[in-house]
Amino acid sequence: MRPVLLKCYLGKSGDAQNMLLLYDHTLVIMFKGKRSDFRLSNIRSLVVSRKKLIIPLVIGGIGTCLSWLALSLGWYHYQSNLFLVFLFFAWMYYGFLGKDGLELLEGKERHVFLIKANHFVLNTFINFVKARMFQKPPAQESVSFHLATKASWEEQELSTLYTHPSLEDEGFIHTSYISELKTSYEKYFNPNDELVLIGIDLSKVEAEVKINEVPSRNALFPHLYGRLNKSAIVWLRAVNSSQDLEQKTIG
């Protein structure tokens, strides 16, 4: 299963039936249990706007007019007609206020999902997706790799930043160039570990980056002196064996 780069719930926290999942090149919308996949390269527009609810508007409007007419002509009971006037008007007003709608334009096809979510969290997610929609491929020499445990990565799916225990213990997060990646895997992990491989564009890392020589390896390694902003991640895959770290596989 592919690792999730960023997650956002559309309702209550933990509701897997209504959420947004961003992979490295794909946006998945889970809405009322139905899954829709969209390639980022195919998305032309992604916005959140207020959508009026047509059915409550129409029913409420017609009901208000008929109830008001019955009230003015003295049909039925006065109290009942007055109650229906307020009831249908409230229903019409609810339709007029509407709900937030996530609107996605894919080619000429428009998808709208009526949602209820924390505005700040949702807008943060949408802005993150938009930035990736127009992201240019990085230069190969500026990409380094970091291996994270699956459990640690999944704990941070809701955050736009990633951290590792080494940041607190050693002051930086370890990464390796592709030439040293397989050696790092064999030296520090075992075949039973469930891992996630993170490809990082060093030119987009917001924390300080230092290229340090490690004498015991006789090689250079990029170290991140701060949490990793996920906007710098250009590649994300699950690792099942050392074969997943072959240069031809990653490239």
* Mean pLDDT to the nearest integer, 120-142: 87
Within 10 A of 198 (CB to CB), how many other CB atoms are there? 25
Domain 140-250, what architecture? Alpha-Beta Barrel (3.20)
Burial of 61 (0-12, 13-18, 19+ CB in 10 A): middle
159-187: per-residue pLDDT in tens? 999 999 999 999 999 999 999 999 999 88
Q: How far is CA 53 from the centre of its chain?
A: 26
- For the domain with range 6-51+99-133, which CATH number is right: 1.10.3720.10, 3.40.630.10, 3.40.50.720, 2.30.29.30? 2.30.29.30
Asked if residues 233 and 134 have their Cβ atoms less than 8 Å apart, the reply is no
In angstroms, the first-to-last Cα distance of the chain is: 19
Q: Of 3-7, 68-72, 133-137, which gets the smallest average pLDDT?
A: 68-72
Res 248 pLDDT > 60 = no
Task: Answer with the residue of higher pLDDT: 139 or 224.
Answer: 224
Q: How open is the CA angle 88-91-96, to the nearest 5 degrees?
A: 125
Residue with tokens 């596989």: 249
- pLDDT confidence of residue 61: 80
10-36: per-residue pLDDT in tens? 888 889 999 999 998 999 999 999 999
Cα 70 to Cα 77: distance, rounded to the nearest angstrom? 9
Cα 180 to Cα 97: distance, rounded to the nearest angstrom? 57
Cα 233 to Cα 225: distance, rounded to the nearest angstrom? 16
Res 62 pLDDT > 80 = yes
Asked if residues 164 and 226 have their Cβ atoms less than 8 Å apart, the reply is no
- pLDDT confidence of residue 95: 66
- pLDDT confidence of residue 251: 59
Cα 236 to Cα 192: distance, rounded to the nearest angstrom? 19
Domain map (residue ranges) of the chain: 6-51+99-133, 54-97, 140-250
* Mean pLDDT to the nearest integer, 105-116: 88
Pair of tokens at residue 85: 């006037």
Q: How far is CA 30 from the centre of its chain?
A: 11
Cα 188 to Cα 155: distance, rounded to the nearest angstrom? 21
- pLDDT confidence of residue 33: 92
Residue with tokens 């959140």: 48
Task: Answer with the residue of higher pLDDT: 75 or 177.
Answer: 177
- pLDDT confidence of residue 94: 67
